[in-house]
Structure 1
Amino acid sequence: IHLDNVREFACASISRVVQQSQTIPGFLQRDAVRRLGPLMLDRSLAVRETATGALRNLSACGGHEVCDDMVKQDVMTPLTALLRECCAGFETNDALSLKGQKNTVEDVANEAVNLLWNLCESSSQALSVFNKAGILDVILQCLERHTHNIKLALSAAHCLHTVTEDNAEFLWSMNNAVLGTLESVLLSSQADMAHTLLRTLAAGSVWNLKSSLPTAHQAQTLTALMATLSQCLELDAGTLIPQLRQAEVARSATASEAGNMEDHQDDEEEGVGLRRNGKATKIDKDFSDLLPRGKEELREATALLTAQQTSLEIIVNMCCSDDPSDDEWEEASSSDESEMCPDGLSEGNTSLLSPLCLSAEVHAALINHNIPEKVWGISFLTYQFSPRMHRVQYRALTCLHNMLSTMNAESLGGAAALQAVAQHLSTLVFSPPEIPKEEEFLEAVTSAMRSLLQIIAYMKIPQCMTPQQMMSLSEAATRCDVVSVRVNALAILGITGSTLAKENGTAETLQMIGNALLQVATKDANLVVCGEALDALFDVFADGDEAERAAENINLLSALKALQPVFKAKIRKEGKGKYSLEQLCVLDNVKVNLRRFIGYLETVVKK
């Protein structure tokens, strides 16, 4: 027993130390993975749990390279064995839990599933091992225990959501057991936030597996999936989070405990970075199993925000017009179905989920469940509590952008609704004393504004944002390091300018827009941004008396003639090493259009 305690203490110490990323290389050099691996199968459950927890932290804090290295050092072999042993011991575990034993099989399984999740998220090698090791049934068993152990089920749901994403090889494992388990979770009725998150993650897995669903289940499953997302988005985080905070403060005061929910939410934000890999800054991970015992309100708040963020991300993917999986569905529908769908799932697989039919079905489901209105409602909220709440709003704005890009105006509520959205976006951006500088906010809000303004311009709907406001947004955005933000801002200026060019008395404003676009086209270090600025110039000054007058006043022709050889030289010099093939094609198109536009301006001057 004494040696068990020593091993447990050593593993716990490693678990704490590796949270400091600078210590990780030293542990790897000392062969820590190979030493900890066998301890995952130690005779002591406490040692198993702490050893697996240490490897979990190592995988979370080490990033992609460390996870790949862990797989190379064969961490998956003892991990797979541990998971199988855990599931075989669940019945024994129930008896131990009733006796109040501290370390149970399910506690060990939870650490193991989280380690598997981290590895599969960060390492394609780990994902490949998962596909071949046949441990899907283990994850399903953990998921099925949601009525007894929601913590373990959530870890399994997160893991399944990760391994089903963009994993064509996994489709060979898809069978009726997977679908049955996911449908069972989707149809569960528990109202707590943890089960709300569980259902949301199951919905995400179902969406990832959409191309493998049998025809007979497609409509029913899509309805259940959309109902899950709809119910999650109906929850008013702006009301519920303050209520949970007040409940925790009251309980803490009663128990004479120091601290309040806000402090822990700050810890939560830091904890995301510690517990997950580098992607955590963009895609938050649930780590509610790591929150202090007794912090039920915080667990509920974390689960709610994670569920809403995940729901919005699923809808973003649904509305993604350039989803590469569209091509896969097309290929699947034209291939031999018996080869594509193992284990009795091959009974016709093309009806709802072929590309054309899918978009119609998803479109109808989104409308029937009032998803656009619910997304707008979340994006409209002004959060004042946690950075994570702001991030939910940012996802809602991204979701709004994708819906505006892929759904027609009537489906979105018509002109009145679009004007209301424009007014809301204007308030979000221009109400503060200065335009917010937070990069994630700017990326989300400029994407939404760009899509909205394109529709408004096409439908000739009056807009509430002034050219001066657009200029101030552009100035703020062009100082942002994120390329997509600068590109969006330039496109917004282009849309605004091309609309103004059709009106009388706008030459002065067009000059202001033209000078701003020329400045970016000449000075921005990124060729994609320069190309977008030129595209916007072409749109603004393409036609009309006001545009001609403004172009003459800012000497647009001579400025573009001077810029043309510089732009061409930059493409030759920087193009191949720095930009993708798609970006180079766009830049080449801009180069051709620049030559043609200069020719057009020359004919205008000769009039």
Structure 2
Amino acid sequence: MGKTKNPKFKRSQFSPDGLAATAVKNTVEEAEDEEDSPAAELLEKLQSPSADVREYACASISRIVQENQTLPGFLQRDAVRKIGPLLLDHSLTVRETATGALRNLSASGGPEVCEDMVRQDVLTPLSALLRECCAGFGVNSPSKKGQKTSVEDVANEAVNLLWNLCESSSTAVSVFNKAGLVDVLLQCLQKHPQNMELAISAAHCLHTVTEENSELIRSGNAAVFGVLDNILSSTHTSMENILLRTLAAGSLWNLKNGLSSAQQSHTLTALASTLSHSLSLDAGELIPQLWRAESARLSKDTTSVTETHHTDQRPAGLQVEEMEEELNDQKRNGGKPNVQMSRTKNDISDLLPRDRLELREAKALLSAQQTSLEIIVNMCCSDEPSDDEWEEMSSSDESEMCADGMSDTNSSLFSPLCLSAELHTVLLNHSMPQQVLKKAEFPSAAALELCSKDSSWKCLLKKMQRVQCRALTCLHNILSSMDTDSLGGASSLQAVAQHLSSLVFSSAEVLKDEEFLEAVTSALRSLLQIMATKNISQCMTPHQLMGFCEAATSCDLVSVKVNALAILGITGSSLAKDKNTADTLQLIGNALLNVATKDANLVVCGEALDALFDVFADGDEAEKAAKNIDLLSSLKALQPGFRAKLRKEGKGKYSPDQLCVLDNIRINLKRFIGYLENLQRK
């Protein structure tokens, strides 16, 4: 069908079920009475003359708003405007907890709430707070309770809030540029030898704000490149340091157009080396090693604590209960009082207590590998087609159309290689295709079993799956961007196709994971198309093929259905060239006709028709199969309904790009029916 683009990655930091601002407004009537509401009581305490009371109120808000049902009560009572001034409170702990409360509001509320926060000018006190923090780096200011809250703790909360806002709001990015906050992030990045947590938060934020930020690129800030180059050249081997270097590499890639040609060449090599090193680490082996190291260390610490307890006058059992309660509080609050929730329910990296060193290292490793794969996806991604290109592609004859589908997650396989010669060479020199293939495999059984059994490490399961999904999407882009020889030749591609086919049937859970299905079907589709154009024999048996497509087309996600139908078309077209394949072609034809006739989505119907054109376009076996399933009569029967539905639903339900492609399919359907009629007359 029509020309499509490669997927790019933009890091979403919010849960998909985050509370929209409109939802907040719609629940006003359901809110608790003002005088009984915990929101009203806590917001009133923000005005207390006591710093301890203000801190308590902010910390309580920070905890409570993690539950979506409580969020409307705070937002409709103007919580943002009431908490905002406390970012500049004279108490350092109040500043920290106030910033954390806003951070949680932004994370729980999602993008629309972030936009509201920006409109309410939260960035003015936040910018002032960040500059004051940077001016006070190195100076600890313990609170009255003796807690070791420092300006760096406050800065970490502030940077994470800034990250949330800039991720969701282009207005926030514009304010970031005008306020020159990149200098603040650079100062936080430079703290990495002493405070890795702060540096990583700043690196995440910088990676986000540099993406498609032409204003920042035009500024050509030499200091930015200097700090990022310095981080990239670091030789520290901790996983957190690897994550920091990976994020720095991503920022450099985003800013590459601000470099001279000579600088770009040097930076590209350093960047590829960083990504390759990150991906070369075997998480399947390292995660069990880190788990065993943590278990041994915590066991030793428990023994030491128990011995100390027996010398205390209070009963040891009571102390153990108190410690367990404190540990539970730490787990909920990130290892120290009032540390805030993470950006999504599936990613709680900043909730981890600071003494869980090995678990933090494991999460940093997986984050680094996920980010590396996302960067490679963007490196291999061609520019989106212009409107003129879409029009030209959509109005062309079938023979000139891309065989790729219309899903926004797929790419044109017949377009020229989108990689420059230099980038192509660098990726190959660092074995990127092989690295990506390794990450496309399922995480090791040992790592999965270990993390499934340990509640503290269970959070890594989603992270491992996300790495695999990113690898599959990355593989899809690499397949679309490199020639066959670069990918290891025919035998290598056949082996990869077998592997990708097996992934779909690996477990019942996989068939419920739409993100994974989209990634693996996109990669398999690209691979099979390349094999077809190179006349490399397909490796899926008829049983595998039909089982795969039955599973994939039952998915509610349109892009997965489209991929599955395209795979049927690609495979059927190849089989039509072989002998004794009519029976298999009949199975494929019936499956495609069933979808084209019954699916409610025109995009899916169009893809099914397009696949039918490919499968039965030529060959004795195809002609025989077409007669056996009475393809001509079936297409004639569905033609009026397809045209009527396109006229009735088209403009209101589908994009102009989709309509262009669907109209082309309408024309090709008429032509194909004529072709079959001519065959019948012979």
Q: How does 1:272-351 map to 2 (within 5 A)?
A: 275-276=342-343, 280=344, 288-323=349-384
Paired with 1:220 and 1:63, the residues of 2 have a C-alpha distance of 39
Q: Answer yes or no: is the 8 Å Cα contact 1:467–1:496 preserved in 2.
A: no
Gapped runs of 5+ residues in structure 2? Answer: 1-47, 303-322, 335-339, 389-415, 452-460
The residue aligned with 1:371 is 432
The residue aligned with 1:24 is 71
The residue aligned with 1:587 is 662
Distance 1:81 1:305, change over 3 A: same
- TM-score, structure 2 normalization: 0.79
Matching residue within 548, 556, 565 for 1:490: 565
SS of alignment partner, residue 580 of structure 2 = coil
Paired with 2:83 and 2:485, the residues of 1 have a C-alpha distance of 59
Runs (4+) of structure 1 exceeding 6 A deviation are: 264-268
Paired with 1:387 and 1:356, the residues of 2 have a C-alpha distance of 33
Matching of residue 536 in structure 1 with residue 623 in structure 2? no
The residue aligned with 1:330 is none
Deviations 1:177-204 (A, max 9, x none): 1111111111111110111000111111
Matching of residue 387 in structure 1 with residue 462 in structure 2? yes
Paired with 1:578 and 1:67, the residues of 2 have a C-alpha distance of 29
Paired with 1:206 and 1:552, the residues of 2 have a C-alpha distance of 58
Higher relative contact order structure (alpha carbons within 8 Å, sequence separation ≥ 6)? 2
Matching residue within 429, 433, 441 for 2:504: 429
The residue aligned with 2:646 is 571
Deviations 1:70-118 (A, max 9, x none): 111110110000001011111434x979xx9611000000000000000
The residue aligned with 1:336 is none
Q: Which amino acid aligns with 2:215?
A: E
- TM-score, structure 1 normalization: 0.88
Q: Answer yes or no: is the 8 Å Cα contact 1:317–1:323 preserved in 2.
A: no
Displacement of 1:394? 1.3
Gapped runs of 5+ residues in structure 1? Answer: 328-354
The residue aligned with 2:35 is none
Deviations 1:349-402 (A, max 9, x none): xxxxxx999621211111000011111111124442412212211111111111
Displacement of 1:477? 0.6
Paired with 1:121 and 1:364, the residues of 2 have a C-alpha distance of 33
Q: How does 1:202-241 map to 2 (within 5 A)?
A: 202-241=248-287
Paired with 1:456 and 1:448, the residues of 2 have a C-alpha distance of 12
Distance 1:540 1:358, change over 3 A: closer
Query: Once structures 1 and 2 are overlaid, which stretch shifts more, 419-428 or 298-307?
Result: 419-428
SS of alignment partner, residue 146 of structure 1 = coil
Q: How does 1:391-430 map to 2 (within 5 A)?
A: 391-430=466-505
Q: Answer yes or no: is the 8 Å Cα contact 1:437–1:476 preserved in 2.
A: no
Paired with 1:542 and 1:228, the residues of 2 have a C-alpha distance of 47
Q: Which amino acid aligns with 1:217?
A: Q
The residue aligned with 1:524 is 599
Deviations 1:252-283 (A, max 9, x none): 33334989xxxx99999xxxx9632xxx58xx
Q: Answer yes or no: is the 8 Å Cα contact 1:204–1:314 preserved in 2.
A: yes
Q: Answer yes or no: is the 8 Å Cα contact 2:133–2:154 preserved in 1.
A: yes
Matching residue within 236, 240, 259 for 1:194: 240
CA RMSD of aligned residues (A): 2.6
Q: Answer yes or no: is the 8 Å Cα contact 2:332–2:351 preserved in 1.
A: no
The residue aligned with 2:15 is none
Q: Which amino acid aligns with 1:62?
A: G
Paired with 1:456 and 1:528, the residues of 2 have a C-alpha distance of 25
Q: Answer yes or no: is the 8 Å Cα contact 2:99–2:158 preserved in 1.
A: yes
| Identity rate, percent | 69
Query: Which structure has more helix as a fraction of its residues?
Result: 1
Distance 1:485 1:546, change over 3 A: same
The residue aligned with 2:298 is 252
Paired with 2:523 and 2:423, the residues of 1 have a C-alpha distance of 20
Displacement of 1:32? 1.1
Paired with 1:62 and 1:585, the residues of 2 have a C-alpha distance of 37
Distance 1:555 1:258, change over 3 A: farther
The residue aligned with 1:362 is 423
Matching of residue 125 in structure 1 with residue 171 in structure 2? yes
Q: Which amino acid aligns with 1:233?
A: L
Q: Answer yes or no: is the 8 Å Cα contact 2:592–2:612 preserved in 1.
A: yes
Paired with 2:507 and 2:364, the residues of 1 have a C-alpha distance of 30
SS of alignment partner, residue 189 of structure 1 = coil
Displacement of 1:431? 5.1
Paired with 1:322 and 1:501, the residues of 2 have a C-alpha distance of 35
Q: Which amino acid aligns with 1:584?
A: L
The residue aligned with 2:215 is 169
Matching of residue 243 in structure 1 with residue 289 in structure 2? yes
SS of alignment partner, residue 461 of structure 1 = coil
Q: Answer yes or no: is the 8 Å Cα contact 1:400–1:448 preserved in 2.
A: yes
Paired with 2:508 and 2:650, the residues of 1 have a C-alpha distance of 40
Matching of residue 90 in structure 1 with residue 137 in structure 2? yes
Deviations 1:14-41 (A, max 9, x none): 1011111222222122121111111110
Q: Answer yes or no: is the 8 Å Cα contact 1:142–1:156 preserved in 2.
A: yes
Q: Answer yes or no: is the 8 Å Cα contact 1:378–1:393 preserved in 2.
A: yes
The residue aligned with 2:588 is 513
Paired with 2:243 and 2:492, the residues of 1 have a C-alpha distance of 30
Q: Answer yes or no: is the 8 Å Cα contact 2:572–2:588 preserved in 1.
A: yes
Number of corresponding residues:
563
Displacement of 1:470? 1.0
